[in-house]
Structure 1
């Protein structure tokens, strides 16, 4: 590392002195060899010094230093994810990781997710990375599908000759999280420099962050919910609050108790003490006969939950090149990554009304028989027969999700020159395997069996069903805390397993060089072909295929698609060294969606030295992922207010959904035509009763083989200013506008039902086809959320980067500044609603700040270097549609975080460096986010603004020889 290392310059910076014409490289965003300053698209770079100074070894967190780059899935926000816990992915222009293409040395690599096209950057050893280049905006004409938002290109070390090592340890001050990293890389030339080999290995371990072990003033021991009051300018200024804001909110406790609630909650047990709403005296001073109150009697689900998982990884990499002749070289790269994560959350719950089966084929678990021998007096006092119940099964232990992910990537090929024409052929193979185990779920059928008890003839009790007894059934006593015996807990406990395998095969070839000469200079070109096959095999838990347990249902998927593509690109000089035109096109034939065409056109104009203007228009596509296209319905549950709720036999009682254009008469007629609802009205027990349903239903997500590609139109224009009178200064300004049409997404369960029953063509519309009702009760059992090309997205904004380094004279050494600013003008989406297409505004909401700012100032002197980095994100409201004087209004203030880093390289041994730093110097955790908000959660935080770790101290040693 240089003594006076400078911060990252944008890749398209104009240098103070023009590079020689022969000094050309392949820059991300193009396959043509050209000098950096002639590129038509903005490309930003982080070099090796930047990687070392960020204060983290997670490649995704490093890339977040660039404007326009946001986190998508992170270890901190995915702890409870069904499939993606522990991944580390990025999101360009807020368009999602599925629309962000991640490359290694300009080539595609296999996805690390079973439900999307996501490359987890923590599978790439940071010590093996030479630099990172990011271009934002459509790049499908250059790289193919998924590059709608842009490309992140991870460039690997190719010139290290010797050994480089790094040992780092960090510990967070408040959360207690500890991180240990060992990073070793060895490079060696051989055969008189014709051959080169590089080996690298990285080990990283991060301890978990638990909800009850973090700071009490920002991550509460309880979850807190927002009450129905309004006019909140900021969480610390709410009426009636103390300094922490805690007492503005009601505690969000759970109504499912470890001791159980019985007879519709008329009797309950808390910590071994019985309460009921009859004659027993409550122990908390409340009046006799008062009902269960969740905010007082409920259960705190937070203790023991992980906010960030236990994370452990080991990554290995190999790179080799060999020059057969001066014009022909062979190359091979291989990578292996093993990532293990472990998360845990509160124990599982169930109730007598819990459905069994995908469509409730086996009914619900059921109430306890009136003859159940363990019913205590406190419940006897409230019951009239069988006993309804709900319970949290703490005796089984915390639910834990253990993920083991292995990734192997192999890239091999040959490259060289035919005279002035460069060529390359290559093939790649990638394999990702995930093995997930979920502990301490519950088996609903076994609970049913264990509640049906009889005397065993010897003074004890046994399960009635002989087959269940042979399978280990033990009588289940759910009355009171810790009442379930270990044997009964073992019988109802369920362990779920999931295995997913992704495989990718690619082959391709390309040529590039000068096509011919024109007066302004050579016309440069690149052309080639690529073949790619993607395969996925998801093996869900065979014992839970029919939703007989509490575990999430992941359906089996065995599917594949392939695509063959041809591409061409040209760089045409119009005025020598002043004006050039760049064109690119790609045609791709998919086995799933057919043929698509991507293209772009751009140019670069240098009217005077030190000023370059460039712009581009592009048409890009994203093909559906394997999951979006092929997936069978996969388990989920959604809340639903049935459009038929309140219906009377005469058709009255219907209230259309807010904003609906459907009439009450239309909805009533459609609901009355449902056989299940007619069966409800025909039941004598329901005489004179309204049909009512408002609750949770099965809402599985499903693929759709009628999907088409997404299409994005992107326009960018910008300027690069590097005046000769101010050496080592550059200013880069870029405007962009991206519109995605036919965006793939799902219609919500609620909207699907509203569109079905509000349509005069009922039941002959596509929305009704995915709704299933119970034949006897009319209750909605399932609404399938199928993927559709139904939305559009639009984002536009301005990126500004300023960079300067100088030796001020009044101070020994040098100082440098690196400022990056992103401002969003638009961030909106159009979606289908009951009233037709509507536009929603993301911009200005808490998860979508209008302004993002990062500034780094550095000082270097001999072997010493220090940097201070500030990251700022503007505040926002919870919902743009809620006005400040309305009850539901909530705003979070802007957040800023500060990091400090210093390093010293010994003069007498410059190969040895020690470094230390502090991330989040002022120990900020971000705003308090009550549950019940759009951007709130039971963790009382939102990942875009909060820092789970708090202040972190780190230090380490680097060696190089």
Structure 2
């Protein structure tokens, strides 16, 4: 059997069906192991020793695990010409690709362009990532691991446990475990090189990698090493793709009366329109006026005064913008003007201001290397050492150009022309301020950020045999991550003061009377404030730019010490076989700390990207016991029945104690069918960001439902060292089919149900106050004054929410000889019954059947109802062709709204919307490989063969979690091995 067959036998489709491999076609018969061997054993010199599969600590053959184990092998990466194992994993329907270069383009964070893994859509923090069964140092505040930091060249396979596994591996294995297994027995040298580019000339990719291994010391030792370099060019702003320049967005229906909840124009409350824009312009758009003490009110776009003239704003001022000289000139408004949104825009707006020039896919590059050596100290004890280093660079990414909404410009501002001032006062002498919306897009994007993450990891391990039935292992690992993120352009809060410009009065020292100055300079002539002219393209002085738009930075350092010892063996046998036992203990200490630039530390930015992370330490000591007991073997009641149980006791400092457990069973009534079931209790430990003592208290005027009106309240936000462990309950049940009448067909179907209690979340102070008043909930998060009013609200992280993931996973494989070669079919599917969150106030957010986006580039979370991924490979001795297809079905644009095709649609409903579905998409990739000789092959790939755009109903930047943002993409490469 070839390596692909061996690895596929370890997938959840094959986890319990390796005996069926004995019936493989004659084309594979020469490599076929006996029915009693696991595929991993056969591919490793057919050893009779049991192996340890992910999700269990006892020695097993790969087919008897009660928890589904899906394997993505090296062969899949080759077939699809994938360079990064995370990209291969994120194609599997059970993953939600929440952090990739295509989905993190909008995030100015400590790890731009990271690749993390999110099983079941429960969040990457609830998916435990291991390397050779050992924890890996986190690379971000949320405790997640960036897969870029592990060289794909040396990854032999990835075992994915799609169910809770905290009893086996400890905290954070709530939705599952991803175990990256290195090829530490590699002999010889292999090398890969590839280059790719999109049909549109961007999204380039370059990969070069090599790995090698050899014996030393007469075969007592073995050493392997690998190094790789990868660079991805990314994609520029929205305008680089036609699907994005549709500028699809929500626009509130201007004909919908929110008071009476009725539509006056026959349209629903929310319109989904193409060609939308925000009402901003470099010149400054006049959106209202203000009179003394607010007399007459501030005229806003929401009242549509700019088009209709239905308010007290003088007719002469409606629909105007400023030119570069401060004169009022016409502004062309679009249709359906509502708030700051409209359809179409003035020709002077260069693009969707407020959106561009954000990159659609962030550039990344990484270099990584690993050295691993084993040495047999004695015939029964082997020592190993390992060192791994990676440097990952992400960016640049960016925020949009500066936006200033509702800026009050004094009528006597010297940048307002005399002609404009005269016309305004002639229309209404009581006007004191003009209200404008402005986008200073001549300045380019804000926060042009790049991150650099250096990861160091070392390991020392011993393993040995005590007796024929007992073996042991022990290890110590140390990992360290140093990250830096720098953003070139961010606005200081002084920018807002510099917008309030007046003419200098006589008598200010060193300032000529009549010179434009900041109003604050009158009281403090030496404050250095430089006035800003918002009128006209490029009229902000370079001196003002240099003063108010400055760099910022953030640093992080994460350290992890871990040590463990494990013992496993068989103390005795029953009538059905050996009872297997595994027990052990683990100690771990994680620390995190980070700093920021002085301006961020002092709170001087309008919107800072970085944050201080005070020193945070988490220590854990835990021990576990796992027992596997066979109860049936070739009996009248069935072919086999095995029961497996595990328990782990954990003590966290500072989060307290927890007991996690697992109970599972595997039953085969006949050889053709196997049933499996598992129930487990799992936990997640708070991350450094959540448990940080970095809580901030600010005083705000907020509604107070206990005394009525608005009161001054202290609001605590940020970290909370007093958090508890999250608790999860997982149930899985499945069936594995290997019908003897259809040779080489293997199918597994597994049901999963994961419930998380005490999920860490935060709520606004107002939401907490209302929940306490109306539902008698969360009152413990409020401190009251003696008169009954609110004094303090704790809006920092708390164990508040509930999460639920329920669904069915399908994995299947079929191999058959055909046309002188071999055909291999693989299908992965996932059907989501429910994916939802319930916050502490009882508000439920449904995330399933949702492939739309929320319109905000920082909030894309939903998953389709179901998803299919299939691979078909036809191989001959000298060449092969692989076809990879994935299907995303039609789903909702917004689960909180009701569209025309949904039950209960009513245009008078405030939740009504003109369109509430996202079209389906099918993507096809093709890869061809030509074997030149036994040690050299070339390959070529076309991804997205039909050049499918993202669905037109998606808002703004689309949804890169599920839909391809690149388009047709070409890659060529070579592989060699000798």
| TM-aligned CA deviation for residue 168 of structure 1 | 0.7
2:748 aligned with 1:732: yes
2:594 aligned with 1:538: yes
- 2:824 counterpart residue number: 816
- 2:486 counterpart residue number: 437
- 1:134 counterpart residue number: 160
C-alpha distance 86-599 of structure 1, shift in aligned 2 (>3 A): same
- 1:650 counterpart residue number: none
Q: Write the mapping of 1:251-262 to structure 2, written as runs, cut at 5 A.
A: 251-261=275-285
* 1:563-620 residue CA offsets vs partner (Å, 9 max, x unmatched): 1000111111212462221111100001122110000111222222243222111111
* 1:873-892 residue CA offsets vs partner (Å, 9 max, x unmatched): 22212344544224325011
C-alpha distance 381-188 of structure 1, shift in aligned 2 (>3 A): farther
* 1:624-656 residue CA offsets vs partner (Å, 9 max, x unmatched): 222222253479999x9x767xxxxxxxxxxxx
- 1:868 counterpart residue number: 883
- 1:555 counterpart residue number: 612
2:459 aligned with 1:411: yes
2:132 aligned with 1:105: yes
Of residues 819-828 and 457-466 in structure 1, the stretch that sits farther from structure 2 once superposed is: 457-466
2:575 aligned with 1:519: yes
Given that 2:580 and 2:628 are in contact with CA atoms closer than 8 Å, whether structure 1 keeps it comes out as yes
* Alpha-carbon distance in structure 2 between the residues aligned to 1:60 and 1:624: 24
Name the SS of the counterpart of 2:839 in structure 1.
Answer: strand
- 2:477 counterpart residue number: 428
2:81 aligned with 1:34: no
What is the aligned counterpart of 2:800 among 784, 790, 797? Answer: 790
- 1:119 counterpart residue number: 145
Q: Write the mapping of 1:709-748 to structure 2, written as runs, cut at 5 A.
A: 709-748=725-764
* Alpha-carbon distance in structure 1 between the residues aligned to 2:254 and 2:721: 46
- 1:959 counterpart residue number: 976
Root-mean-square deviation (CA, aligned residues, Å) is 3.7
* 1:413-443 residue CA offsets vs partner (Å, 9 max, x unmatched): 2111112321111111111122111122112
* Alpha-carbon distance in structure 1 between the residues aligned to 2:794 and 2:162: 35
Q: Write the mapping of 1:38-57 to structure 2, written as runs, cut at 5 A.
A: 38-57=64-83
C-alpha distance 453-129 of structure 1, shift in aligned 2 (>3 A): farther
| TM-aligned CA deviation for residue 717 of structure 1 | 1.7
| TM-aligned CA deviation for residue 546 of structure 1 | 4.3
2:919 aligned with 1:893: yes
2:380 aligned with 1:316: no
Of residues 547-556 and 508-517 in structure 1, the stretch that sits farther from structure 2 once superposed is: 547-556
Name the SS of the counterpart of 2:279 in structure 1.
Answer: coil
What is the aligned counterpart of 1:224 among 249, 271, 274? Answer: 249
- 2:543 counterpart residue number: 487
Given that 2:319 and 2:332 are in contact with CA atoms closer than 8 Å, whether structure 1 keeps it comes out as no
Given that 1:44 and 1:66 are in contact with CA atoms closer than 8 Å, whether structure 2 keeps it comes out as no
- 2:445 counterpart residue number: 398
* 1:916-940 residue CA offsets vs partner (Å, 9 max, x unmatched): 111111111321245xxxxx4x31x
What is the aligned counterpart of 2:114 among 62, 87, 107? Answer: 87
C-alpha distance 284-603 of structure 1, shift in aligned 2 (>3 A): closer
* Alpha-carbon distance in structure 2 between the residues aligned to 1:4 and 1:44: 13
What is the aligned counterpart of 1:569 among 592, 608, 626? Answer: 626
What is the aligned counterpart of 1:620 among 650, 658, 682? Answer: 682
* Alpha-carbon distance in structure 1 between the residues aligned to 2:757 and 2:244: 40
C-alpha distance 700-215 of structure 1, shift in aligned 2 (>3 A): farther
Name the SS of the counterpart of 1:325 in structure 2.
Answer: coil
- 1:186 counterpart residue number: 212
| TM-aligned CA deviation for residue 149 of structure 1 | 0.3
* Alpha-carbon distance in structure 1 between the residues aligned to 2:617 and 2:551: 29
Given that 2:323 and 2:535 are in contact with CA atoms closer than 8 Å, whether structure 1 keeps it comes out as no
* Alpha-carbon distance in structure 2 between the residues aligned to 1:959 and 1:460: 75
What is the aligned counterpart of 1:919 among 929, 943, 946? Answer: 943
| TM-aligned CA deviation for residue 271 of structure 1 | 8.7
| TM-aligned CA deviation for residue 164 of structure 1 | 0.8
* Alpha-carbon distance in structure 2 between the residues aligned to 1:248 and 1:388: 28
What is the aligned counterpart of 1:331 among 364, 377, 384? Answer: 384
* 1:806-830 residue CA offsets vs partner (Å, 9 max, x unmatched): 113xx11111111122222232333
- 1:595 counterpart residue number: 657
Q: Write the mapping of 1:697-716 to structure 2, written as runs, cut at 5 A.
A: 701-716=717-732
Of residues 524-533 and 780-789 in structure 1, the stretch that sits farther from structure 2 once superposed is: 780-789
2:224 aligned with 1:198: yes
* Alpha-carbon distance in structure 2 between the residues aligned to 1:922 and 1:877: 24
What is the aligned counterpart of 2:965 among 948, 951, 954? Answer: 948
Name the SS of the counterpart of 2:99 in structure 1.
Answer: coil
| TM-aligned CA deviation for residue 79 of structure 1 | 1.3
Name the SS of the counterpart of 2:543 in structure 1.
Answer: helix
* Alpha-carbon distance in structure 2 between the residues aligned to 1:128 and 1:953: 25
TM-score, normalising length from structure 1?
A: 0.82
Given that 1:699 and 1:783 are in contact with CA atoms closer than 8 Å, whether structure 2 keeps it comes out as yes
C-alpha distance 446-576 of structure 1, shift in aligned 2 (>3 A): same
- 1:498 counterpart residue number: 554
Of residues 478-487 and 86-95 in structure 1, the stretch that sits farther from structure 2 once superposed is: 478-487
- 1:361 counterpart residue number: none
C-alpha distance 899-424 of structure 1, shift in aligned 2 (>3 A): same
| TM-aligned CA deviation for residue 709 of structure 1 | 1.6
* 1:66-111 residue CA offsets vs partner (Å, 9 max, x unmatched): 3422212111111122424311111111111111001000000111
Name the SS of the counterpart of 1:848 in structure 2.
Answer: coil
| TM-aligned CA deviation for residue 497 of structure 1 | 1.1
What is the aligned counterpart of 1:346 among 386, 400, 417? Answer: 400
| TM-aligned CA deviation for residue 787 of structure 1 | 1.9
Given that 1:274 and 1:378 are in contact with CA atoms closer than 8 Å, whether structure 2 keeps it comes out as no
* Alpha-carbon distance in structure 2 between the residues aligned to 1:468 and 1:175: 54
